[in-house]
């Protein structure tokens, strides 16, 4: 079921420039239709962000693929995700062999995502809370991925990346952000690379936007 749609999605990702076979294989084998709201399964493999309730969305397949590719995930690496949402991005990273530590602010979404991820049989830890502060007890991480748009780069996230590690975060206004990669060197300095402009829902919290945005 959905095998044809999933293969078509991966072909589309190749055409859009995704070349990392590990990402493409993980996305082809992750059942995206199980991460969308009931009744939306038939749209799950289309190049769309879909509502998942509570005003939130599951990101476009291209966004998930691009972010997974830019992270350069190696098997066994510890990756923290801020903004679990549906759990799909976390599931893809798990399928790529990462140990995933994921934080979601919304309790209902967090519970639903936990259930889905458990059924994927992968290595993950999930917490409900404000991910703009990171997760000090599990730091440092090989990579951190933020799947919501931030007004500034949260200081705690920069600190919680390993030397040689990567922080991938959309930064900008509430309406539009630059997906930005920070690579930490051995002297704890960062090289900043702008990947492209994308639109994410806002990162709320102490080091994010206020609840009113
Ligand atoms: N990665 C998700 C997926 O695969 O479905 C999509 C993420 S959705 C675009 C952004 C998510 O970030 C929302 O679920 C939202 O509740 C969450 N969020 C916003 N601010 C947050 C914060 N400070 N800490 C944790 N999660 C946050």
pLDDT, tens digit (0-9, with 9 covering 90-100), for 26-60: 999 999 999 999 999 999 999 999 999 999 999 99
Concerning whether 59 is annotated as a catalytic residue, the answer is: yes
Whose CA is closest to atom 11 on ligand 1?
Answer: 83
Residues of the domain holding 170: 3-198
| Residue given tokens 């936990």 in the structure block | 114
pLDDT values of the chain reduced to their tens digit, one per residue, 213 residues = 799 999 999 999 999 999 999 999 999 999 999 999 999 999 999 999 999 999 999 999 999 999 999 999 999 999 999 999 999 999 999 999 999 999 999 999 999 999 999 999 889 999 999 999 999 999 999 999 999 999 999 999 999 999 999 999 999 999 999 999 999 999 999 999 999 999 999 999 999 999 877
**Assigned domain for 205 exists:** no
**Assigned domain for 49 exists:** yes
**Assigned domain for 23 exists:** yes
- Rounded to the nearest angstrom, the distance between the alpha carbon of 128 and the centre of ligand 1 is 11
**Assigned domain for 10 exists:** yes
**Assigned domain for 208 exists:** no
Q: Active site residue: 6, 29, 59, 189, which one?
A: 59
pLDDT tens for 74-88 read 999 999 999 999 999
Domain count, the chain: 1
Domain of residue 192, CATH code = 3.40.50.150
What is residue 211's predicted lDDT score, i.e. its pLDDT? 86
Contact yes or no for 162/183 (Cβ under 8 A): no
**Assigned domain for 210 exists:** no
Long-range contacts from 206-209, C-beta under 8 angstroms, 24+ separation: 206/130, 206/132, 206/133, 207/132, 207/133, 207/150, 207/152, 207/154, 207/155, 207/156, 207/157, 208/130, 208/132, 208/148, 208/150, 208/151, 208/154, 209/150, 209/151, 209/174
| Nearest in space to 191 (alpha carbons), one of 165, 160, 171 | 165
């Amino acid at each position: 079921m959905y095998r044809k749609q999933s293969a078509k999605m991966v072909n589309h990702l190749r055409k859009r420039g995704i070349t990392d076979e590990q990402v493409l294989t993980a996305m082809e084998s992750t059942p995206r239709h199980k991460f969308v709201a009931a009744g939306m399964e038939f749209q799950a493999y289309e190049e769309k962000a879909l509502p998942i309730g509570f005003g939130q969305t599951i990101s476009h397949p291209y966004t998930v693929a691009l972010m997974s590719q830019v992270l350069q995930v190696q098997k066994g690496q510890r990756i923290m995700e801020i903004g679990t949402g549906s759990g799909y991005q976390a599931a893809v990273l798990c399928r790529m062999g990462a140990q995933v530590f994921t934080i979601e602010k919304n309790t209902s979404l967090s519970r639903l995502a936990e259930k889905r991820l458990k059924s994927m049989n992968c290595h993950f830890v999930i917490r409900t809370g404000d991910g703009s502060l990171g997760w000090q007890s599990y730091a440092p991480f090989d990579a951190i991925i933020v799947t919501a748009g931030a007004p500034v780069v949260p200081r705690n996230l920069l600190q919680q990346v390993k030397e040689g590690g990567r922080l991938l975060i959309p930064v900008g206004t509430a309406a539009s952000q630059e997906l930005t990669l920070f690579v930490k060197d051995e002297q704890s300095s960062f090289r900043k690379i702008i990947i492209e402009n994308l639109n994410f829902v806002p990162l709320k919290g102490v080091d994010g936007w206020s609840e009113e945005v």
